[in-house]
A and B are shown apart, each in its own frame.
Chain A
């Protein structure tokens, strides 16, 4: 059960030979690493979910000769000789905040630096940028955030899939993915005040008041 003979691919195309979690797999061309892991019977591959690279679970480390990179297994195709290792999930962040405790938005920048004190220590090492499977310029976004440009920084994380590969890469433990979400969340929480929604909520509030006042109301 530890290896798959090359013949097992069962079709005429030559197999692509690679290793996944140390196990030799003979895959068909054009398989993703997830399919190859299933096809080759690699046991205990648990970090897989959406299969369309939006959930960020299937983090893999890839070794091609001396070159080492990271990516998502569901968007990486098999290559001859590549070594792939599924990575465990990133530990939960040590940074803590509850958005409901934010009251005065003038203090947001101060709060940000209290919560993420490392964010101002970025070494510009590009580790996060190289890791991001979505091509996000994480480093620039972190620096925007540290300067209080939360909306612009947050906008850069639009396609972030929470894989936390940037967190794993960051030598300063800035937790860039969580900084990104902080930026997006405070922007919505403090800035989004849509008149059409507010108008309808107000109508509903008045109706409820009327309902309570009238004697024949049900509730």
Chain B
């Protein structure tokens, strides 16, 4: 990732808050920049899948290794494992999983929600910016649809986008009924903001704690609901199929606490396991929570589900490099929107900071690769986000508008008001995922997928605020659809799909050495299990 660069201490000494700045160089050809520096475009980062429903299609390299890996368990592990029956099984306790659970339980189903960490430990809880819905008089559902499709480079599925945008206002109402608060104007309207790629103000928020507010309300609603049972610290390690390996009829869980396996039988499984930042694709840091290891993609693919856009990820331009313990954590886009500039080690601007995320990322990566970055002791490189200059032009603004950022960095003795922040692009969001219909149903009977795990809504690029809407919209849709599966449930649960996947791997001459899903990054998995 590095090619020289100026040592941090030296770059700090060089930095002047009042230096004269020239405008950044004109960006002649964004495509050349993207092709040369954006991680999605790196030749070495994409391979063709050899087995499974997407065989022959492009996939990011490290993700492909996960998708084409051997299962965690085989039949022998299931002997003697206790069995639980439920109407609807939900895997994943973030926003999407909780919304699905509440929708299904609200219609009288017996719901079991099983999650890897604690209920609510998720990407949802970290979202700051807000949630989209077209509610302003000068806005319309149609415009929301158009903005989303355009933002996604017209790769999204119009039917899914339309369903989500239509649901928008009702989703906000439902969240309020569950007890979520939003910022209001003096006259009581919901306060809305406009962000990149939007033709009208459409982002609603609760200060810069929107995800936290959403998650704690949904978590509490789930805990309080009599129809929902929750198992925590219980990651899914495999799905279960019928004797022909063609229908999903349950799942196998392990326990992070005692390592025992448990079997759940059901007629509908809703996967809501979120994203994969913690796979650290292309060696990038990530903004994601520790459990975002792409498990759902692996499980869905192994049982035969079709996936899409597996070579498209969102890298957020401003992830922190320093302090090390916050590596990869986000500095919200709002700081650039408020006017913060970016500088290389020589104190020069190198790109218009408000261009689309992928272009800004590529420009930062170019500075780092060509030796104009700032290097910390362990060799990682970044560029400056010039927060002191912003503070100087608008005194007090950082404290007023970005309290969470100040609190976070000041703990380690860095004050963004007097010292620029060192930043580098960070792996942020999985654009693609499992192919679904408007009810969240996958191509495998009995299996639903919702939330960041699902693909097709955001095309090849997600615009801000649409993820929080998508998880509730499709979460609730899947919760309702899952209970109308009238099949009386499985007679026999098997690992037939695992055997079939293993045969396919052997036939394709693939090694059976790696096992997946990952469940926790290696650096955090000490003593939890042996694979």
Cβ of A218 under 8 Å from chain B? no
Cβ of B219 under 8 Å from chain A? yes
User: Known contacts A162-B216, A162-B219, A184-B217: does B176 contact A192 (CB below 8 Å)?
Assistant: yes
Cβ of B339 under 8 Å from chain A? no
Residues of A within 8 A of B212 (CB): 54, 161
CB-CB nearest in chain B for A154: B181
A199 to B133, CA, bound (A): 13
Cβ of A32 under 8 Å from chain B? yes
Residues of B within 8 A of A31 (CB): 325
Residues of B within 8 A of A55 (CB): 118, 120-122, 125-126, 289
Question: Given B120, B121, B177, B211, which contacts A189 in the complex, CB threshold below 8 Å?
Answer: B177
Residues of B within 8 A of A57 (CB): 117-118, 121
Q: For chain A, residues 1 to 56, give those with C-beta under 8 angstroms from any C-beta of chain B.
A: 1, 30-32, 34-35, 38, 41-55
Q: For chain B, residues 180 to 207, give those with C-beta under 8 angstroms from any C-beta of chain A.
A: 180-182, 184, 187-190, 192, 207
Query: A67 to chain B: closest CB distance in Å?
Result: 20
Q: For chain B, residues 495 to 531, give those with C-beta under 8 angstroms from any C-beta of chain A.
A: 523-524, 526-528
Q: Is the CB of A46 within 8 A of B233?
A: yes
Residues of B within 8 A of A186 (CB): 179
Cβ of B84 under 8 Å from chain A? no
A158 to B411, CA, bound (A): 20
Q: Is the CB of A197 within 8 A of B257?
A: no
Residues of B within 8 A of A187 (CB): 179, 181
Residue count of chain B within 8 Å CB distance of chain A: 67
Interface of A is mostly: loop
A75 to B216, CA, bound (A): 20
Cβ of A181 under 8 Å from chain B? yes
Q: Quick one: CB contact mask for B119-137 with A, threshold 8 Å, 1 for yes?
A: 0111001100000011111
Cβ of A166 under 8 Å from chain B? no
User: Known contacts A43-B528, A51-B289, A57-B118: does B225 contact A196 (CB below 8 Å)?
Assistant: no
Residue count of chain A within 8 Å CB distance of chain B: 58
Question: Given A54, A189, A196, which contacts B179 in the complex, CB threshold below 8 Å?
Answer: A189
CB-CB nearest in chain B for A95: B224
Q: Is the CB of A181 within 8 A of B216?
A: yes
CB-CB nearest in chain A for B256: A46
Q: Is the CB of A188 within 8 A of B179?
A: yes
Query: A73 to chain B: closest CB distance in Å?
Result: 11
Cβ of A125 under 8 Å from chain B? no
Selected interface stretch from B16-24, B46-54, B166-174, B476-484: B166-174
A160 to B215, CA, bound (A): 11
Cβ of A172 under 8 Å from chain B? no
Residues of A within 8 A of B524 (CB): 38, 45, 48
Top 3 closest A-B pairs, CB basis?
A43-B527, A185-B179, A49-B121
- Beyond known contacts A52-B126, A181-B220: 14 more, CB 8 A cutoff: A30-B323, A38-B526, A44-B527, A49-B289, A54-B211, A89-B232, A100-B177, A159-B209, A161-B216, A184-B179, A188-B176, A188-B180, A194-B135, A197-B172
Give me 30 A-to-B residue pairs in the complex whose CB atoms sit less than 8 angstroms apart, sorted by A's number: A32-B325, A35-B324, A38-B526, A43-B526, A45-B524, A45-B526, A48-B117, A48-B524, A49-B121, A49-B290, A52-B326, A55-B118, A55-B122, A57-B117, A77-B411, A77-B412, A92-B223, A96-B226, A98-B224, A160-B216, A161-B216, A188-B182, A192-B181, A192-B182, A194-B135, A196-B189, A197-B189, A199-B137, A200-B134, A204-B170
Give chain A's interface residues, CB within 8 Å of chain B: 1, 30-32, 34-35, 38, 41-55, 57, 74-75, 77, 89, 92-93, 96-100, 154, 158-162, 178, 181, 184-189, 192-197, 199-201, 204
